[in-house]
Structure 1
Amino acid sequence: MFTGCGSASVKNNQTTKNDSTEKSSDIDSSSNAVTEAVQNNTDNENILIAYFSVPENVDTDGIDANSGASIVVKNKDVLGNMQYMAMTIQEAIGGELFRIETTEEYPLEHETLVNQAKEEQNEDARPELATHIENVEQYNIIFLGYPNWWGDMPQPLYTFLEEYDFSGKTIIPFNSHGGSGFSNTIEEIKKLQPNATVKDDGLSISRNDVADSEQEITDWAKGFQ
């Protein structure tokens, strides 16, 4: 499972509130299971599966109900929710995986990460990206994955969507969340990419259910073939 091979052209420069009263964010975790920013399947090379996932020190005893530090363990590999969803999509329909990474790594400690995410959101920050797509013109369909942080996309997603012109392309969102689903993120994507077709029927899965959602993810992805 998850045997994507090869690499596409890429440059490398090196949460959610459940409601307005809650004080934590939905932070996704990842691991070193995928070492390349881009991996490709030989089928459907016009499909890009871009996702954002950050490293985090996952202590299952310290994860509270709102932390979103969910992980998926498959074949002894520890994967972040978004990483797992992206790889499942690729296995279902092919395409190329692209991990959105920043030049400055996010903190590994959960509370520090949560606070930084909120600070970046308050400042409307645009973190610099370490990975860049050189051959964006070859893709017609972009699956875009991200966790819901404080009711919004992580700020690096804004950097990513402002860097590229996806006019004429189809963007299909997918995310993990702690109770708020997509929030208003699909509308934000439409604002940032007004000349792209942004699908409203994206896939949003609770962080607690991702590990058991392989079939749901597969069936959903195949619906766009």
Structure 2
Amino acid sequence: MSIAFDLSRRIVLTASVVLPYAAGVAASVAATSAIAPGPRSDILVAYFSRTGNTRVIARQVQRALGTDLFEIEPSKPYPEDYEETVEQAQRERDAGIEPSLKAAVPDFATYRTVFLGFPIWGTTAPPVIRSFLSSHDWAGKTLRPFITHGGYGLGSSISVLASHAPRSELIEPLAMEADQERRTLAEVTAWIGGIERP
């Protein structure tokens, strides 16, 4: 596994500027699990995003490089409630479950490079990322991860990528802290705790 890092500075800087606006952007953008129409590229941006943070980065990479775009979705969506999603993801992680996906990438063999985006869940890659990796043949492909996390780093996510896509060339990831949802919940909880109840 070779590790190198040459992601465009423009992509990194733009992503860091637009990331705080992810929630608003995500609400106005229709998600798709199919390859976006238009000229086909030999580069794919595939991503999983719950809150929209990772989606913002994915769309910026796609625009900057003119790649194809694919959203990774489980066949059964995760709960809307944050805490319920955390509990389900922990159960899946601990049991080694790889949930079924809504769709696979058509003509995956035609791509030479795949930018793979996802958030860190429970100190590792989400279960659907393991499913995505297991569902495709990575032989001869360059895998470029971009990962968002809540301040605790990458955890075991890189070893998950290496074990589930062993025949790919795994490039050093772009890692960005993006913990708006967790921080918001903590601040609201603290605020409620300070309210005097009648």
Q: Shorter-chain TM-score: which interval? A: 0.7 to 0.9
2:77 and 2:120 mapped to 1: Cα distance? 19
Which one of 43, 50, 60 corresponds to residue 47 of structure 1?
43
Matched residue pairs, number? 156
- Counterpart for residue 141 of structure 2: 169
1:149 and 1:143 mapped to 2: Cα distance? 19
Percent identity between matched residues is: 30
Deviation at 1:137, TM superposition (A): 1.1
| Structure having greater relative contact order (Cα 8 Å, sep ≥ 6) | 1
Instruction: Specify the code of the residue in structure 2 equivalent to 1:127.
Output: P
The answer to whether the aligner puts 1:187 opposite 2:159 as a matched pair is: yes
Deviation at 1:100, TM superposition (A): 0.5
Unaligned runs of at least 5 residues, structure 1: 1-27, 55-70, 72-79, 210-225
2:85 and 2:60 mapped to 1: Cα distance? 26
Larger Rg, first or second structure (1 or 2)? 2
CA gap of 1:40–1:98, structure 2 versus 1, over 3 A, is same
TM-score, length of structure 1 as denominator length:
0.64
Ranges of 4+ aligned residues in structure 1 off by more than 3 Å: 28-32
Higher helix residue share? 2
The answer to whether the aligner puts 1:204 opposite 2:175 as a matched pair is: yes
Instruction: Encode CA deviations 1:159-205: one digit per residue, 9 max, x unaligned.
Output: 111111110010000011011222221222111111110112x1000
Higher strand residue share? 1
Deviation at 1:208, TM superposition (A): 4.9
Alignment check: 8 A CA contact 2:48 2:71 kept: yes
1:93-172 matched pairs, under 5 angstroms: 93-172=65-144
1:20-31 matched pairs, under 5 angstroms: 31=27
Deviation at 1:115, TM superposition (A): 1.1
- SS of the equivalent of 2:121 reads coil
- SS of the equivalent of 1:132 reads coil
- SS of the equivalent of 1:48 reads strand
Deviation at 1:31, TM superposition (A): 4.3
Alignment check: 8 A CA contact 2:44 2:115 kept: yes
The answer to whether the aligner puts 1:35 opposite 2:31 as a matched pair is: yes
Alignment check: 8 A CA contact 2:115 2:146 kept: yes
